[in-house]
């Protein structure tokens, strides 16, 4: 029996293993080494440690923080994998994380970490997929889109609580939305040689679009450095 590879499960495993290493380093060194090396800490980003725009998405501050984010990733990730394909899904996850941490860097001085930046990007991508393919989804599109918008609204309200980086959530939404809008899977109707209507998938230049988004992200960071 062929076992299907799941990028979402691999991401979950990575986050869990890194969380164990975070706690292990506290036992051995007396502090969270991975947090020090990889969290979104503005002063270190100003020193050129730009990997901190991505690495916080794999680190967590508590078992509850980890459990909540991994449940969300498990709930929404696999269906998006099937729609996007694994390489494009991983790019989507990455751009949610990168834009989320850039927004946090731009608008918040607080230290932050967690996968919620990337997960908000996935939620945005789900909404974009429903909207762009609403004609094919028919009457199901409106309630599905309403559910996504409700989910976003509830989580942004919850994000107003102390200690939660809502700027990271907003940035994740922006990153996921931009990637999904320009590079996400969308479908149209065409006729085959027999005059029958068939569903076709529109081709997207994923890596070209990814390059453009990286340039946009770099521009945001550059402007932050210029106006510091």
Catalytic residues: 116, 169
User: Which pairs from 84-91 meet CB under 8 Å and 24+ separation?
Assistant: 84/125, 84/184, 84/185, 86/5, 86/7, 87/206, 88/183, 88/184, 88/185, 88/206, 89/7, 89/8, 90/7, 91/179, 91/183, 91/206, 91/210
Q: Are 96 and 159 in contact (CB under 8 A)?
A: no
Q: Which has the closest alpha carbon to 49: 33, 36, 31, 32?
A: 36
Q: Are 82 and 196 in contact (CB under 8 A)?
A: no
Q: Are 44 and 105 in contact (CB under 8 A)?
A: no
């Amino acid at each position: 029996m062929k076992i299907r590879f799941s990028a979402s499960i691999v991401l979950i495993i990575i986050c869990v293993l890194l969380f164990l290493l975070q706690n292990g380093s506290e036992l051995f060194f007396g502090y969270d080494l991975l947090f020090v090396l990889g969290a979104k800490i503005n002063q270190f980003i100003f020193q050129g440690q730009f990997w901190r725009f991505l690495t916080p998405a794999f680190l967590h501050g508590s078992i509850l923080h980890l459990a909540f984010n991994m449940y969300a990733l498990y709930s929404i990730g696999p269906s998006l994998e099937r729609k996007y394909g694994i390489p494009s899904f991983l790019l989507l996850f990455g751009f949610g994380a990168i834009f989320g941490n850039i927004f946090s860097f731009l608008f918040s001085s607080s230290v932050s970490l967690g996968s919620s930046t990337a997960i908000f990007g996935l939620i945005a991508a789900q909404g974009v997929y429903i909207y762009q393919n609403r004609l094919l989804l028919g009457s199901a599109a409106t309630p599905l889109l309403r559910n996504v918008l409700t989910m976003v609204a509830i989580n942004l309200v919850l994000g107003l609580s102390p200690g939660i980086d809502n700027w990271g959530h907003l940035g994740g939404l922006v990153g996921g939305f931009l990637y999904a809008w320009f590079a996400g899977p969308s479908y149209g109707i065409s006729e085959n040689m027999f005059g029958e209507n068939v569903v076709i998938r529109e081709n997207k230049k994923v890596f070209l679009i990814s390059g453009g988004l990286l340039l946009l992200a770099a521009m945001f960071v550059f402007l932050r450095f210029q106006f510091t």
